[in-house]
Amino acid sequence: MPKAKTVFFCQNCGAQSVKWIGRCPSCGEWNTYMEEVIQQERRDDRARNVKPQEPRLISDIDWSDQHRISMVDRELDRVLGGGLVPGSLVLIGGEPGIGKSTLMMQVALRMEGKRILYVSGEESDQQLRMRADRLGIRNRDLYILTETSVQSILHQIGKIKPDLVVVDSVQTLQTDAVDSSPGSVSQVRECTSELQKLAKTSGIPVFLIGHITKEGYLAGPKVLEHMVDTVLQFEGDRHHMYRILRATKNRFGSVSELGIYEMQSSGLREVANPSEILLSQRDEQLSGVVIAATIEGLRPMLIETQALVSSAAYGTPQRSATGFDVRRMNMLLAVLEKRCGFRLGMKDVFLNIAGGIRVDDPAIDLAVICAVLSSNADIPVDKNVCFAAEVGLSGEIRAVNRIEARILEAEKLGFGKIVVSGYNIRNLHIKKFSIQVIPFRRIEEVYTFLFG
């Protein structure tokens, strides 16, 4: 018998090596290489089974039956690009405890009239039933299967003929074709490719839940991203109630869409109007709190930015930011230092984006600067005003995209004034808004506006 062929795989990114290496040259993680047995014959068998395909003219391919399946969840449908495409393979990833199983169970329960198979390799029947009861929705067409072998799962799918399959989670799956343990790169890859084949040949859409762990033995879903049609990321701070669902890859839609949920004791609630929850309901005016009109994905939302500036207790001032890039904050502080002559070098600066969400929209810059200035001077900023502009290195207030959507959102939420870049309103009839649009071009003008 020939010696079993083994290869070392990086458990984080899936890179291969013939020998063990301490640090993965591909993703830079330490101590992630694991030895796995490769069965060469099986792969050759599979290659032989593939039917040769003939090329076809693109105009001859019929696509009219590509209707979308509604998931009975507006946020999820939106992120998928208007519903689920039959035969697609969707991977939903996220940290443990973020609510992936809850979301998929909830969706499966809500899809009345559709036959759904929920495969779990993580929880027992009883635990799943408990979760379903907690969610308080009943669905007579939901089948539960606690199984980890892909072959048995495929067998059951053939028997039940479901309209949708959910697999929780891909790291628990196991196939006979590979010898290594569940969760290893070659197992995860092989199992996914078998489910992919099922989805493509039968048209049954498959949802895969995947874990994201930095260390440990579970394979990072990075390996899978190439194999699936859509990758959804479920994120949020576990200590906050809000969860954000975004697509990082979507063959059937845009990746700029975003779904927002609130985790409640009876499951995830869709949040139709995010701004209302991201603004704290406060009456009194506090210094260091400023509202930014941002756009996440395609949705405008107003977010509270909080800053705390205090004298540095130790030699080196501390800079820390939650939900915002620290390097960008340091850049903005340097702009303030240089252009407005603020001595922030001896101050600790803390920044926090309310609601536990992360903002990458550059339009939040001006709000960050105003929050820092307000906290530094201990003078509150009028809570009737919000801000939407980027700040450049020379202290200029720069234009941002989709300014009209931002202004309209601020107007809808009852703000009286919005501060924007003077370069942004050239083609805009600011008179038509009931909200007062205030254009500025330099950071110094904003300072005068804030503190007189």
Interacting residue ranges for Mg ion, rule: CB under 5 A: 101
Instruction: Indicate which single residue of 99, 205, 221, 236 sits in contact with ligand TYD (rule: CB under 6 A).
Output: 99
Q: Residue 261 CB, nearest distance to ligand TYD (Å)?
A: 11
DSSP class of residue 30 equals B
Between 120 and 421, name the residue whose CB sits nearer to ligand TYD.
120
Listed residue (50, 100, 107) closest to 75, CA to CA: 107
Which one, 14 or 236, has the nearer CB to ligand TYD? 236
CB of 98 to ligand TYD, least distance (A): 4
Q: Give which of Mg ion, ligand TYD, none residue 94 binds (C-beta under 5 to 8 Å, depending on kind).
A: ligand TYD
In whole angstroms, how close is the CB of 101 to Mg ion at the nearest point?
3
Report how many residues bind ligand TYD under the rule CB under 6 A: 15
Q: Which of 10, 204, 206, 263 binds ligand TYD (CB under 6 A)?
A: 263
265 binds, among ligand TYD, Mg ion, none (CB under 5 to 8 A by kind): ligand TYD
* Nearest-angstrom CA–CA distance, 244 and 258: 7
- Distance between CA 257 and CA 75 in Å, rounded? 9
Measured distance CA(212)–CA(81) in Å, rounded? 24
Least Cβ distance, residue 106 to ligand TYD (angstroms) = 8
One of 114, 115, 131, 269 touching ligand TYD (CB under 6 A): 131
Q: What 8-state DSSP symbol labels residue 422?
A: G
Report the C-alpha gap between 266 and 137 in whole angstroms: 10
Q: Is 94 in the site for ligand TYD (CB under 6 A)?
A: yes
- What is 140-204 written as a DSSP string? TTEEEE---BHHHHHHHHHHH--SEEEEE-GGG-B-TT--SPTTSHHHHHHHHHHHHHHHHHH--
Q: How far is the CB of 169 from ligand TYD (least distance, A)?
A: 8
Contact 292, 363 (CB under 8 A): yes
141 in Cβ contact with 116 (< 8 Å): yes
Cis peptide before 280 (omega within 30 of 0): no
Segment lying near ligand TYD (by CB under 6 A), choices 52-60, 260-268, 328-336, 421-429: 260-268
Minimum distance, C-beta of residue 110 to ligand TYD, in the bound complex (Å): 14
Give the footprint of ligand TYD on this chain (CB under 6 A). Answer: 94, 96-102, 131, 134-135, 263, 265-267
